[in-house]
Amino acid sequence: MPTRRFLIASSLARLARKELGGSRVTEGYFPTRPDRSSHVQIEGEKGLLVLSTNVSGASPAEERTEVPQAHAAALMDLVAGKTEYIRSKLPVAGRDIVLDHFGAPGLVDVISVEFQEETESSAFIPLPWFGPEVTADAGYQNRSMALQGFPALPEIPLPSEALDSMLDALECFDESPSPETISSAEAPLIVADSEIPLLPAPTEQPSSEEDRKSTLRAIRSMQVTTAEGPENANLDIEAEVARELTRSLRRRNDRTLARVR
């Protein structure tokens, strides 16, 4: 199936992960051959062996075989390169938008959108919170990043309409995800600020729907000052997001204490 890939600003990617949760995925890639390529994947307790066959004049044919997690882990010792990422999914207009936060062998956030037909792919208009498209850049393919390392990342601007569009998508997300607990390798969204207590980000369970919507409304009402440049604007957004998440956690803890009493 055709897939288009885009970068995304790290601050928006962090906001999405906090709201959506995510699952940790490890992929190990064997050396590429002219006629085929293969890799092994572990997501939670599930292991997969993926074989892609290259046929001249046609898209690669992919076969996926589920294998025991222990077997997949053993195969990881034989691969030529690995990559790890946190995968989150956001349904938008009946389509799953996949956000992958790569933490090894480097740091990068990539959006992937799959399509059934090439015509459908060509007609797709990226959302305002999507960054530059990297579909044609082989350096941003999972295999390339695992075997050759990450390419140099461009600077991704963060206009206000991108934040508005992301918040719209999150507000429409009416499910209550149960994300797997992310290990300490996933850096929590904590900003050094005297007004913010240095608490770990709440990853054990998602906030209540009331807290989640309150947080998004508060973030939407913020006015981001860009007079000192886009980098400072990004820091302002991240600081405010951190404050709202902390307030949300406090409200949840207060309710828990009230019930106990």
Q: 45-56, pLDDT tens digit by residue?
A: 999 999 998 776
Closest CA to 180 of 214, 203, 209: 203
Residue 35: predicted pLDDT: 87
pLDDT band with cut points at 50, 70 and 90 for residue 38 = very high
Q: Where are the beta strands (DSSP E) in the chain?
A: 3-7, 23-29, 36-43, 46-53, 61-67, 81-92, 95-104, 108-114
The string of pLDDT tens digits covering residues 158-209 is 888 999 999 989 988 755 444 444 443 343 333 333 333 333 333 434 445 6
pLDDT of 223 reads 41
Tally DSSP H helices, then E strands, for the chain.
7, 8
Contact call for residues 127 and 165 (beta carbons, < 8 A): yes
pTM as predicted: 0.69
Q: CA-CA distance, 8 to 19, in Å (whole number)? A: 16
Query: What share of the chain in percent tops pLDDT 90?
Result: 47
Name the residue type at position 202.
P
Mean pLDDT over each residue of the chain, to the nearest integer: 77
Q: Note the pLDDT of residue 102.
A: 94
Report the pLDDT value the prediction gives residue 153, as an integer from 0 to 100.
Answer: 86
The answer to whether residue 26 scores a pLDDT higher than 90 is yes
CATH architecture of the domain with residue range 3-148: Beta Barrel (2.40)
Question: What's the confidence (pLDDT) of residue 94?
Answer: 80
Comparing 232 with 108, the larger pLDDT belongs to: 108
Preceding peptide of 60 cis, ω within 30°: no
Residue 80: phi, psi to the nearest 5?
A: -90, -20
Provide the 8-state DSSP code for 213: H
Q: Which residue has the higher pLDDT, 203 or 236?
A: 236
Q: Could you tell me whether strands 3-7 and 61-67 are parallel, antiparallel, or unpaired per DSSP bridges?
A: unpaired
Residues of the chain with CATH 2.40.320.10: 3-148
Average pLDDT over residues 63-85: 95
Q: Bigger pLDDT: 211 or 28?
A: 28
Select the more confidently predicted residue: 60 or 82: 82
Outline where 67-125 has alpha helix (H): 69-76, 118-123
Contacts (Cβ under 8 Å, ≥6 apart) of 170: 15, 16, 19, 20, 90, 216
Is the pLDDT higher at 65 or at 218?
65
Predicted pLDDT at 104: 76
